[in-house]
Amino acid sequence: MATKYLPDEDHVVRHINSQLLIRDVADHVIGCFPQAFELRPAEKYLSASWLEFFPGNKHERTIAVVGAVAKARTVKPAHGFALGNVAEVKDACASFGSKIRVIHEPNKNNPNTAYTAIRNYRSDEVQLLQLLANEAWSEVIEARNYLAP
Amino acid sequence: MLLSGAVGNLTAVKDVEDKQSDIRTQLISKLASLKRITATVAMHLDPSWRLALFDTLDRLIDPDDWDLEFKLPSDQSFSTFLRTMIYLHPLRRPGLGLSPTGHFLAAWSRDRDRIVIECIGNDEVRWVLSRTIGGERESGAGTVLLHRVPEVTAPYEPEKLFHDGDEILA
């Protein structure tokens, strides 16, 4: 399959565990911690999904992408998803010297057909993680509003 | 304050691993352990915040919502978190989280400004802050012992993030 780079105007969506969501005193989700964008020791790239892989308006696409992720891994109502514009994420990483590649990488073993890899990504700079969490990849939604009943 | 009494004793907290039990039992045991640690410095914490902290711990260490790729929460990280709170004496309650490495996280946000403190343990913290000052976006980060946090964050004027809110300390 030919390599499919996501267009700059499209969006990447990352699943965020509830432990990495920032809540205010009223328990509303107001963002996510920078550590949500940190690679685990065995990870070579950052996992995400492609919002515009699915048709429809933003709400319909979000429902579809949450459903696709839920086919591949456990998604609880208290979990979240961070949405970021591809160009803004690339610019943020570039400002820290990381020229990332955002690639649609479906494979037959992964039921998430929108699966996307952020390659050439480095997460050893906490200010980049903060920039992503606080600005470039900072729209955070709660899974409970998008999960199928 | 950091050196004496119950707050000083927090430095003696060690991580305890119980690999004999299943993960659910380990999480329940860890939750109880962290609440016991909190109880040792209860006199320093505002009662309503202490209750809110317990509720947050219940949520963060919920056996029904636990990612097996996460390390168990670290007792040492939690003791550093409590010591940080008592030392910094913030007047706004932070949002709390847990990193995949088992470290406690605290975030103070106001508009687009935010400081996040990751409590590594043994009084070591990793901080990262972003603020808009005079129309310019600035950020800073570092890893220091907790008593150095006020000094190293001072150039970013973090007072608006830490203050003007609910009581945390008694």
| Model confidence pLDDT, tens digit, residues A44-82 | 999 999 999 999 999 999 999 999 999 999 999 999 999
Across B89-96, average pLDDT = 92
Task: Give the gap in angstroms from C-alpha A93 to the nearest C-alpha of chain B.
Answer: 15
Task: Please answer yes or no on whether A127 and B109 come within 8 Å at the CB atom.
Answer: no
How does strand B113-121 pair with strand A4-5? unpaired
Q: Please provide the average confidence, as pLDDT, over all residues in chain B.
A: 91
Q: What are A81-99's pLDDT values in tens digits?
A: 999 999 999 999 999 999 9
**Does the beta-carbon distance from A17 to B67 stay under 8 Å?**
yes
The arithmetic mean of pLDDT across residues B5-9, rounded, is 80
Spatial separation of the C-alpha atoms in residues A86 and A133, rounded to whole Å: 14
Q: For residue B139, with 0-12 CB atoms within 10 Å meaning exposed, 13-18 middle and 19 or more buried, which class applies?
A: middle
Who among B65, B69, B141 is closest to A126 (CB)?
B141
Asked if A18 is an interface residue toward chain B (Cβ–Cβ < 8 A), one would say yes
| Interchain proximity A31–B60, CB inside 8 Å | no
Cβ neighbours of residue B51 under 8 Å, at least 6 residues apart?
none
Q: How far is B4 from chain A (nearest CA, A)?
A: 31
pLDDT of residue B165: 57
User: For the CA atoms of chain A, what is the radius of gyration?
Assistant: 14
Question: Is the Cβ of B128 closer than 8 Å to some Cβ of chain A?
Answer: yes
Q: How far apart are the first and last CA of chain A?
A: 34
pLDDT at A3 (0 to 100): 77
Longest CA span, chain A: 48
C-beta atoms of A22 and B97 within 8 A: yes
> B100: distance to nearest CA of chain A, Å?
8
Q: Which domain holds residue A43?
A: 4-145
Using a CB-CB distance cutoff of 8 angstroms, which residues of chain B are in contact with residue A21?
A: 97
In one letter, which amino acid is B22?
D
Does the pLDDT of residue A39 top 90, yes or no? yes
Contact of A119 with chain B, judged by CB distance below 8 Å, is answered with no
Nearest to B95 among A17, A23, A127 (CB): A23
Please, are residues A73 and A15 in contact by the beta-carbon 8 Å criterion? yes
- Contact residues for A59 (Cβ-Cβ < 8 A; gap 6+): none
In chain B, the residue whose alpha carbon lies closest to the alpha carbon of A24 is: B95
**How large is the ipTM?**
0.94
Number of domains, chain A: 1
Across the interface, whether the CB atoms of A24 and B95 are under 8 A apart is answered: yes
